C-alpha cells in the first residue's frame, strides 16, 4: 500500500502538553500512515517521550487533538487505548521486575490474544525467555528484559507500535537483534513510531523521520537526510 493515499493511522494535531503548568510540547503535529515506520529523533529533553505519552493516553494534552485512525481519542485512558491496540513499550525496560517472565507475558493478554498464544509467539521469537519463564523478570539481563518488553509487541497483534529508546543502555549486538525483530514487524505491515536519541539504530527500518527539538518538530523527511541534519542540529542547537 502506498502511505500517501490512505488516512493516517495516528495523527497529532497542534499538541501542547507537559507536566503541571509547564508545557514541554509547544504545538506538535505528527502523522504516522498505515504501514509506515516513523522515527522521531532528537536530543535529550526534546519532548519525544512526552509525545509518546500523549499518543498513548498517559498524558492529556493542554491543547490539540490525538486522532487514531481518524477518531479523536483525547481523554481516553491509556488502558482503553492499550486494549484497542495501541502498544507502547516504554523507555528503560517495560517489564514488571517482581513478576516472573511467564506472569509478565500473562499481562500482555489484555489486548485480546490468549495466554497460550502469547507464550507460543514470544517463546518462538525469543527462545531464551522460555528457558527463564519462571524466573523473576527483574533478575534477567538488560537485553533479556528488553526482549521480554518487546515480546508484548510481537505477540499481541497491535494496531500501532510505539517504541521509546529501544537501544538505551544495551550492547550493540543486542540492539541489532531487537531491530531485526522490528524490521520483521515492519515488513508484515505494522505501523511503528520509534523514538531514539541516536539515528544510527533506526535508519535501517524507518521510512520516514523527524527531528524534534525543544518541544517542536523541526523537520520531517527521508531518514537519510534527516540523519545528516540531526548531527548539525545537535551541535548547533543544544
Chain positions contacting other proteins, by CB under 8 A: 13-14, 18, 21-24, 26-30, 45, 56, 58, 64, 77-79, 82-83, 87-88, 90, 94-99, 103, 106-111, 115, 152, 210, 213-221, 229, 232-233, 236-237
Longest dimension (CA), the chain: 51
Instruction: Tell me whether residue 69 or residue 204 sits nearer to other proteins (CB atom).
Output: 69
Q: For residues 159 and 203, give the distance between their C-alpha atoms in angstroms, rounded to a whole number.
A: 22
- Rounded least distance, CB 11 to other proteins, Å: 12
Instruction: Tell me whether residue 133 or residue 214 sits nearer to other proteins (CB atom).
Output: 214
Instruction: Tell me whether residue 35 or residue 57 sits nearer to other proteins (CB atom).
Output: 57
- Rounded least distance, CB 143 to other proteins, Å: 19
Instruction: Tell me whether residue 67 or residue 183 sits nearer to other proteins (CB atom).
Output: 67
Strand order in the sheet with 37-41: 86-89, 160-164, 191-196, 37-41, 208-213, 216-221
- Rounded least distance, CB 49 to other proteins, Å: 12
- Rounded least distance, CB 200 to other proteins, Å: 20
Instruction: Tell me whether residue 103 or residue 177 sits nearer to other proteins (CB atom).
Output: 103
6, 176 Cβ separation under 8 angstroms = no
Provide the grid cell at 105.
507475558
- Rounded least distance, CB 170 to other proteins, Å: 19
DSSP 100: B
Measured CA to CA in angstroms, residue 34 lies from 45, 53, 150, 206 at distances of 28, 20, 20, 13
- Rounded least distance, CB 63 to other proteins, Å: 8
Q: For residues 155 and 111, give the distance between their C-alpha atoms in angstroms, rounded to a whole number.
A: 10
Instruction: Tell me whether residue 116 or residue 176 sits nearer to other proteins (CB atom).
Output: 116
Q: For residues 170 and 179, give the distance between their C-alpha atoms in angstroms, rounded to a whole number.
A: 12
Closest CA to 93 of 132, 149, 44: 149
Q: For residues 104 and 95, give the distance between their C-alpha atoms in angstroms, rounded to a whole number.
A: 7
Please tell me the number of Cα atoms within 13 Å of 218 on its side-chain side.
18
Amino acid at each position: 500500500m502506498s502511505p500517501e493515499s490512505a488516512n493516517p493511522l495516528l495523527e497529532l494535531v497542534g499538541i501542547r502538553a507537559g507536566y503541571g503548568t509547564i508545557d514541554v510540547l509547544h504545538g506538535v503535529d505528527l502523522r504516522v500512515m498505515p504501514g509506515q515506520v516513523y522515527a522521531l529523533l532528537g536530543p535529550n529533553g526534546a519532548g519525544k517521550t512526552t509525545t509518546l505519552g500523549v499518543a498513548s493516553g498517559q498524558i492529556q494534552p493542554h491543547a490539540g487533538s490525538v486522532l487514531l485512525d481518524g477518531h479523536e481519542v483525547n481523554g481516553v485512558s491509556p488502558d482503553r487505548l492499550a486494549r484497542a491496540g495501541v502498544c507502547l513499550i516504554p523507555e528503560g525496560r517495560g517489564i514488571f521486575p517482581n513478576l516472573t517472565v511467564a506472569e509478565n507475558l500473562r499481562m500482555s493478554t489484555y489486548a485480546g490474544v490468549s495466554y497460550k498464544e502469547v507464550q507460543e509467539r514470544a517463546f518462538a521469537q525469543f527462545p531464551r525467555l522460555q528457558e527463564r519463564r519462571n524466573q523473576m523478570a527483574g533478575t534477567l539481563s538488560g537485553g533479556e528484559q528488553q526482549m521480554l518488553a518487546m515480546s508484548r509487541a510481537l505477540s499481541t497483534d497491535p494496531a500501532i507500535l510505539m517504541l521509546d529508546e529501544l537501544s538505551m543502555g544495551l550492547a550493540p549486538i543486542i540492539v541489532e537483534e531487537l531491530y531485526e525483530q522490528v524490521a520483521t514487524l515492519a515488513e508484515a505491515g505494522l505501523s511503528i513510531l520509534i523514538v531514539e536519541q541516536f539515528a544510527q539504530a533506526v535508519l535501517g527500518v524507518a521510512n520516514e523521520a523527524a527531528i524534534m527539538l525543544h518541544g517542536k518538530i523541526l523537520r520531517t523527511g527521508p531518514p537519510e537526510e534527516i540523519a545528516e541534519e540531526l548531527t548539525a542540529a545537535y551541535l548547533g542547537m543544544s
